[in-house]
Structure 1
Amino acid sequence: MLSKIYVLDTNVLLQDPNSIFSFQDNEVVIPAVVLEEVDSKKRYMDEVGRNARQVSKLIDSLRELGSLHEKILLENGGQIRIELNHRSFHELQDIFVEKTNDNRILAVAKNLSMEELQKEDGRPVILVSKDTLVRVKADALGLQAEDFLSDRVVEIDHIYKGFLDLYINSDNLNRFYEKNELLLSEITNHPFYPNQFIVMKDALGGSASAIGIVDKSGKKVKRLVFNQDHVWGIKPRNVQQTMAMELLLRNDIPLITLVGKAGTGKTLLALAAGLFQTEDLGTYKKLLVARPIVPVGKDIGFLPGEKEEKLRPWMQPIYDNLEFLFNTKKPGELDAILAGMGSIEVEALTYIRGRSIPDQFIIIDEAQNLTKHEVKTILTRVGDRSKIVLMGDPEQIDHPYLDEYNNGLTYVVEKFKEQQIAGHVRLVKGERSGLAQLAADLL
């Protein structure tokens, strides 16, 4: 006998089309109204539309195995069926008057639950939804409700920071300064990832300390290569910014992820490093800066003008940082500089699909608003001899189906942390202003 019945909300399928295979050997029930909602999203030209089309194809392929309104056995031992009955609104009509789609899904779960309670061997019915209010409503009706967590890349307490504090004796610290490297096996038995930073401190409380980076083999910690006083007038102001600049300037690490709250310096550091390597060193032919167009608050609708004019409001945070780096003071001065240089391109992510991008320093800002599929699309566009920097704040997400633990940026951080070609740093300290830091912490 199957142990549980899971009733899926539409948002679970639209977030992860393969979610129906995530419930082991239990029974998965999809209310008919969910199929209607999925069908209404199929024409969307975004990630939601793509997932809706994928769900449709997946359920259609299951028809070959049997009748969907009865039960179909899945490979993982579970079962799935489309629920056409149990739609009665009788139990909910006094509580929720309107017959919205959410309430219809709740009605199916409630009626199934009541039916199971009347059986001797009745199974628990659990509603699975990404919508907080649907779970609250379910709780008010006496229904079990859960968030869908299988799409999470990492557990809450284990998000990779990219660095670690390590207390070692002063002899080892002195040896590190003399030889510029240490064998990790001599100072700790803690496992490390390639390109992970170690902040080494005196175990006896002395003031001596050092920052090292784990080599590609993961067996040695070495001194940082970056030794310039500043890059395009930007000097790292704290330990994590020093780590970030090290990764940004290293040619042997083509994938960088930077995570941090607003004001920690992610965009400014990346732009400075990109301009230095594009304009001064000539390592890359072009600096490409892109960000997803996801509005904060109410969307302002269609904008007049050419593509550049339409993009300007969305890309203004990038232009603000460029104005600071170029030290421009007059209106239009930055546009004239960028037009004259020709090697800096500010673009919306909408236009990146289908491109191949070689010999470029690519910065993707606000990457926390990308889904796993969108991040894959971007990374598979990166051509030979290019370097890509993904950055953002997973605590500031404007996408309806993403959270801190299942967004594209966190996905890349976790999937690439063991790879030799990738480096990551979580920036901790805000450097914009005392007010900005306090607001990021308090609000």
Structure 2
Amino acid sequence: MKHIVDTNVLLHKPQIIEEHDVVITSHVLREIEELEKKRRSDRTLMFEIRRLKRHLKENKHHFMDLKDYKFTLTDEMDGQYVDNILLQVAVDNGYGMITNDVLLQEKCGLYNIPLILVDEDHFIEHKGFKEVKFSETQWANVIGNPEVNSLELMVNEYAIINNVKDGELLDIVKWDGLETKSLRDKSGKLGAGFKTILFDKFKPRDEQQIMAIDSILSNQLTSLRGRAGSGKSLIALNTAWHLVEKEGYKLVMFVNPTPLREAQELGFYKGDRREKLMQSAVGTMLKSKFGGDAELEKHLLYGTLDILPFVDLRGFDTGDSKTIVWILEAQNLTSDLMKLGLQRISKNTKVIVDGDYFAQVDKDVYASNNGMKRMSEVFRGNELYGEVELQTVHRSALADLADKM
């Protein structure tokens, strides 16, 4: 039996076209086109639409019903509403329906339309910050009463304050559980940056990068998310090394080497595990950041840096020494692997987790059981945790455009 699939299911679970004999109507396709035109700033939605288009192109396990239907079932429902037209299509053709929309399910019951329900992802997106607008006078009144959580922020959630008149940045603040604190330093500057011997000067390039650095420095656990080129690795490495040089931390990197989706593996790598890691994508990235093999090997030898694959983590403990753990490409971790990594952490250890579970997941298992998502659900609002989604690709204009492919 053929089943119509509604817009919501198609966007959130495009693999549904491989699992059932589905019908995609012209009305659903038109609704998706309208969403693509009107909500281009919604990064999550744009990714879901691109992902759906790839699935439709690569899989032919679906039927397109391109006929335009007119809703005639009853005068008591809006005939222009897409969900109501889907009812008409189902009744006219004897199709079933695939939907998680409760109202549409009830309507299907009225017309005896067979239903298929799919597992729904109840994950609530959390960027780690809000953007609000005030006049300078209004903001002065708000910040003048810091003990009042007037912005309704979670603990360690940030807020970007823009001037309602011209959009200029007024302040960046966070709620620490007791008061609203500005991220301005003692001289009144936002994002002043810092300098390390190894990497020289580093200065955040936008509001999200300012918040990311603050979170790493002030929280025990920080999640950094963002598109390729948004600065996740740059921020993590520079801030971590700032702690290494200034406060005597050791940097330990946890990695779960995962071949890029659809990329051809080169086969057997010679050497022990560390040598193999150095030949992986992680090793290539580190060599470029540290300026080559020699500098990287020096810090591995001196003990200021270590690199551990997740396969070796059982029994590992950061101990009492000051350590900063950096979990790279964490979109490629299941909930159990993320849990294993975080359980290795002692009280003197800071943790940076970076990744992008929207666009850079390289195996289906990590899409359906994602450790970064689960970590966010469990830790958000806790005094130990901060989370920031980086919004802007700074690598190049070309890299920014490539994200739309």
TM-score (norm 1): 0.58
> Which residue, out of 164, 187, 191, partners 1:203?
164
Q: Which residue of 1 aligns with 2:381?
A: 418
> Which residue, out of 236, 240, 246, partners 2:214?
246
One-letter amino acid matched to 1:222: S
User: After superposition, where does 1:250-265 map in structure 2 within 5 Å?
Assistant: 250=218, 253-265=219-231
Q: CA deviation at 1:153?
A: 5.1
Alignment partner of 1:194 is 2:155: yes
Alignment partner of 1:222 is 2:185: no
One-letter amino acid matched to 1:237: R
1:370-403 deviation line (CA, Å, top 9, x unaligned): 1111111111111121011111011211122232
* Structure 1 unpaired stretches of 5+: 1-94, 96-124, 128-141
- Aligned residues of 2:286 and 2:296 also touching (Cα < 8 A): no
Q: CA deviation at 1:175?
A: 5.4
**Following the alignment from structure 1 to structure 2, what is the Cα–Cα distance between the partners of residues 300 and 353?**
28
User: After superposition, where does 1:84-123 map in structure 2 within 5 Å?
Assistant: none
Aligned CA distance change for structure 1 residues 323 and 334 (closer, same or farther; 3 Å):
farther
* Structure 2 unpaired stretches of 5+: 1-60, 62-95, 99-112
Aligned CA distance change for structure 1 residues 304 and 170 (closer, same or farther; 3 Å):
same
Aligned length: 286
Q: Which residue of 2 aligns with 1:293?
A: 257
**Following the alignment from structure 2 to structure 1, what is the Cα–Cα distance between the partners of residues 336 and 122?**
13
Alignment partner of 1:320 is 2:281: no
Q: CA deviation at 1:163?
A: 0.7
Identity %: 25
User: After superposition, where does 1:43-442 map in structure 2 within 5 Å?
Assistant: 146-149=117-120, 152=121, 154=123, 158-174=124-140, 182-185=146-149, 188=150, 191-205=152-166, 207=168, 209-217=170-178, 220-224=180-184, 228-232=192-196, 233-250=201-218, 253-282=219-248, 284=249, 286-296=250-260, 297-314=263-280, 316-317=281-282, 319-321=284-286, 323-324=288-289, 326=290, 328=291, 332-339=293-300, 341-358=302-319, 359-395=322-358, 396-403=360-367, 406-440=369-403, 442=404
**Following the alignment from structure 1 to structure 2, what is the Cα–Cα distance between the partners of residues 291 and 153?**
28
SS of residue in 1 equivalent to 2:365 = coil
- Aligned residues of 1:288 and 1:362 also touching (Cα < 8 A): yes
Q: Which residue of 2 aligns with 1:102?
A: none
One-letter amino acid matched to 1:348: P
Aligned CA distance change for structure 1 residues 339 and 420 (closer, same or farther; 3 Å):
closer
1:6-54 deviation line (CA, Å, top 9, x unaligned): xxxxxxxxxxxxxxxxxxxxxxxxxxxxxxxxxxxxxxxxxxxxxxxxx
1:282-313 deviation line (CA, Å, top 9, x unaligned): 2x2x1001221211124444322222221112
Q: CA deviation at 1:431?
A: 1.3
TM-score (norm 2): 0.63
- Aligned residues of 1:291 and 1:365 also touching (Cα < 8 A): yes
Aligned CA distance change for structure 1 residues 210 and 239 (closer, same or farther; 3 Å):
same
- Aligned residues of 1:195 and 1:214 also touching (Cα < 8 A): yes
Larger radius of gyration: 1
Aligned CA distance change for structure 1 residues 207 and 272 (closer, same or farther; 3 Å):
closer
